[in-house]
Chain A
Amino acid sequence: MPIYAPSLPPRPELTDGSHPITVLTRFDLMRVIKRKVGFFIFGFIFLTILLIELIVLWGKYLINTSAGFKGFKDMANTILTQGADYQAGLIDWWLLVPLWFMMAFMVGGLISRDSLYRIRPLIYAHPVRPQDYISSKGLTAFLIPMVVMLPFALVPWGLSVAMAGASGPIWATAPLYLLPAAMVIALLMAAVTLGASAMASSPRASFGWVLGIVLGTSALGGVFTATLSNKQWMAMSPYFLVQAWPQLICRVSDPLLKWLPTLAGTLGHIALWTWIAVVRTKPSEAVL
């Protein structure tokens, strides 16, 4: 037989608490990271990407300093000019593909886990407005890819500044280009993942939805590109859009996509998937 407390102490004040967006975001972030799968995927993908990045940098360092690498150095001076191409290459497919997987695994469950455990009606039974709920999910979904991408913009910049000094090569300005690109990428990934998560009934289903959307739109873009002989149709796919942004912002001479289709595709995807997430998480959709 349980022992019940005699009573509860007096009622505390309810006016000093944090905004619901802060509370929900903090709880979601902790929940994502605390889960074993979250720890593993976040750590594994982050370390993998970081390792690749360090290998590239180390190679570049050897090329520039070792006489034995003169041939490589000549090649590097010709190809790896540390110009726009190299900057844009810091956030490229080798980072973005694992990042899509990580989003599907970790962020995909943000809304669908609430649906699975039927938490959302209970959230709405508290002083939380629909816009608070979706904003907190959006913020969490945005912060996670940003945390992964940020070092890839800042670490090379920091190393460059450390090695060559602030008045050194073009590196000093690189983060200024890569940061907005990373923000747009994180925003697009967050919108797609949240839309998928809102449509799915479980985190596992969300994973399928995210990959389905990314691969499906890529296939569709590929069909249009082949049929109409215009590669700008690739802007239908978030997979190509996220690759195009660093190239466009760093002003690569021959970017994957042009500005207009990239902008239209990105805005279209963000609007569509955000709308789906908003509609699917309305309080009237919450069954009490």
Chain B
Amino acid sequence: MISFENLEVRYGPTVALKNLSLTLEDGIVGLLGPNGAGKSTLLKTLLGLLRPTTGGGHVLGIPLGTSEAAKLRGRIGYMPEYDALIEDSSAYEQVAFWGELSGLTREQARDRAHEVLYFVALDEARYRPVSGYSTGMRQRVKLAQALVHSPELVFLDEPTNGLDPDGRKRMLDLVLKVRAELGTSVIMASHLLEDVERVSDQLVILDKGEVKAAGSMAGLRKMLAKRFELRFLDPLNPAQEGQLTELGQVLEHRNGIYDVELAEADPVLPFRFAEEIGAVLVQLTPRHDRLDEVLIRALRGNLSATQESR
């Protein structure tokens, strides 16, 4: 679906994206990162609005930074983070307008606007000006305009922004439905880790223009399954502590408890290791980490971009 090779984008002297090399498969991709991480620049580049300074890549088989970018945008849908709604128009009028702008005929765009507004459950409110809509309805109008031309790929920028828990659930259900029923691939940028965790099957963590971690959610979960907290009966001496690296990567050590990422997700390994070094293991706690742990570690630089593939 998307691939980059040494992609670099600069704004004058400022490097916005550094040496990005990445391949993303069809599905739902979660794009995580703090403000200024380069998410917007990445989306602009993917939409063909910015030309890469060096390197390149392909989106849906079309090379980035070429004159074909305008055509590419007809195959992509984009739901912005902010309220990009035409306040004095109804949902129907503007969704039809965006459909026409994507290349549909006037009649097709009108028909399609009705269908897609029904799809996002706005059929009864579709003739009302959007200025009177609730936040949840406004988010669904934005999703409808991104889907009106049935894109192959859709970018959703913070789709659950400002929604209450019920609204969030509905929106995430819709995202899953877009993938499951329409077959549309989704790239969802969000800072809400729970949302990404719930819908994504691939994850990219971006910070300061660099990919800090990327891979499938299944792979990340597998990696997380290797983490355990170990506590020994007596404190380990320095020599024993040094040998701990044979067991795996020691991520943290506090009050005699070692946070270790094992080489393999096998809970028997720490017992064997303790026996080898002559220590008594009294606590073995699996760390059922959530995605926020991964994000924090990635942003601290403790998780390499390739680590997930182990």
Contact = CB atoms under 8 A, between A and B. Distances in A.
A18 B104 CA distance: 8
Assign chain B's interface to a size class: 35 or more
Assign chain A's interface to a size class: 35 or more
A75 interface: no
A2 interface: yes
A15 interface: yes
Contact of B88 (A9, A16, A31, A288): A31
B101 A31 contact: no
Contact of B40 (A2, A10, A20, A288): A288
B281 interface: no
Contact of A31 (B81, B89, B102, B104): B89
Interface stretch (B117-125, B191-199, B214-222, B248-256): B117-125
B121 A3 contact: yes
A10 B149 CA distance: 10
A279 to B, nearest CB: 16
B116 to A, nearest CB: 6
Interface in A163-186: none
A128 B83 contact: no
B80 A24 contact: no
Given A126-B98, A284-B49, A15 B103 contact: yes
Interface string B82-118: 1111111100000001101111111011001001101
B182 interface: yes
A129 B86 CA distance: 20
Contacts of B71: 127
Nearest to B47: A125
20 contacts: A2-B121, A4-B120, A4-B177, A8-B147, A14-B75, A16-B104, A16-B108, A17-B109, A18-B100, A23-B100, A117-B84, A117-B85, A118-B83, A125-B47, A125-B80, A126-B73, A127-B74, A127-B102, A283-B50, A288-B43
Interface of A: 2-18, 20, 23-24, 27, 31, 34-35, 117-119, 121-129, 283-284, 286-288
